[in-house]
Structure 1
Amino acid sequence: MTTSSSDPIHSNSAPEPVGLYPHARRVGNLLFLSGVGPRQKGQKQIPGVMLDSHGQIADYDIAVQCRAVFQNVRTILEEAGSSWDNLVDVTVFLTNMKEDFQTYNRVYAEYFKDNQPCRTTVEVNALPTPIAIELKCIATI
């Protein structure tokens, strides 16, 4: 993990970005995370996602995806010198608000019982990989 405040931050444990961007960037005492999904480093299988023979989502478990995303966020935060308790703002992207919001909201409450950052949840048409949730976070260091 690189930690200079002028350099991008790349996690050694989080899944690789799907484009040319860092896992996070520090500006002063703020840490801005790039979008984080449930993929796992070095694995093709995405937690909670079943793909058909064409690589399209056949079925998925939003609770499993939520837990995987939250673990990835925690990993990036900790490797960057921050922590879960330092999250101050979370933007959540769901691909199916109608079907997934209740479960996502329940799992979210389990993880954010003590620290309650500001939160925005929006529905998007699609995400860059076959996933149903992605988080964009800001934390303090």
Structure 2
Amino acid sequence: MSDVIRASAAPKPVGQYPHARRVGELLFLSGIGPRDPASNAIVGNVHDADGRLISYDIDAQTRAVFANVRTVLEASGARWEDLVDVTVYLTDMARDFKTYNAVWAEWFPDIDTAPCRTTLGITALPTPIAIELKCTAVVRGATSSSKAPE
């Protein structure tokens, strides 16, 4: 009935769930964050000597989460352009929306081909990240690599 996707080049999920699940032509991605796939470190986080988070870089985290989404899409046989709906979770809407929105515009420069989007301000995510994406894509036939910025 559905295909489970585990993307070896993406950060490991933080729980017992797959990166994505394909049902027919629809591809549902689990929440994807900005962790580095190689080190599992959270991109853009700065910690003090005691390991407490003291700051983060929303620009770096947004770019990292978009790259991780692209990695999962490609492992699923989809392309960046196949995204049709994205829900974005920000832990500090007032501080981070403008920067995140500017990065979004770089990765989706054409409003006519950009996915639908909902952005929510929330109090916390399961790990100390500032942004997470929940995505849905449509997958039809053969695909080519993404054209999103590096």
TM-score range, shorter chain: over 0.9
Does residue 25 in structure 1 map to residue 21 in structure 2?
Answer: yes
Q: Provide the C-alpha distance between the structure 2 equivalents of 1:27 and 1:99, rounded to a whole number of angstroms.
A: 37
- 1:53 Cα deviation after fit: 4.3
Does residue 15 in structure 1 map to residue 11 in structure 2?
Answer: yes
TM-score (normalised: structure 2): 0.87
Cα distance, 1:55–1:130 mapped onto 2, change above 3 Å = farther
Q: Provide the C-alpha distance between the structure 2 equivalents of 1:89 and 1:49, rounded to a whole number of angstroms.
A: 27
Does residue 89 in structure 1 map to residue 85 in structure 2?
Answer: yes
- 1:56 Cα deviation after fit: 3.5
Q: CA RMSD in A?
A: 1.3
User: Which stretch of structure 1 is more off in the superposition, 39-48 or 74-83?
Assistant: 39-48
Number of equivalenced pairs? 137
- 1:90 Cα deviation after fit: 0.3
Q: Deviations over 1:32-64 (max 9, x none)?
A: 000000001231431111123454421011000
Quick one: percent identity of the two aligned structures?
60
- 1:103 corresponds, among 99, 107, 132, to 99
Cα distance, 1:123–1:55 mapped onto 2, change above 3 Å = farther
Q: Report SS of the residue matched to 2:66.
A: helix
Q: Provide the C-alpha distance between the structure 2 equivalents of 1:95 and 1:131, rounded to a whole number of angstroms.
A: 8
1:48/1:60 contact within 8 Å kept: yes
- 1:71 Cα deviation after fit: 0.2
Q: Provide the C-alpha distance between the structure 1 equivalents of 2:50 and 2:33, rounded to a whole number of angstroms.
A: 21
Q: Provide the C-alpha distance between the structure 2 equivalents of 1:132 and 1:109, rounded to a whole number of angstroms.
A: 19
- Ranges in structure 2 where 5+ consecutive residues have no aligned partner: 140-150
TM-score (normalised: structure 1): 0.92
Residue 122 of structure 2 corresponds to 124
Does residue 57 in structure 1 map to residue 42 in structure 2?
Answer: no
Q: Report SS of the residue matched to 1:100.
A: helix
- 1:6 Cα deviation after fit: 2.6
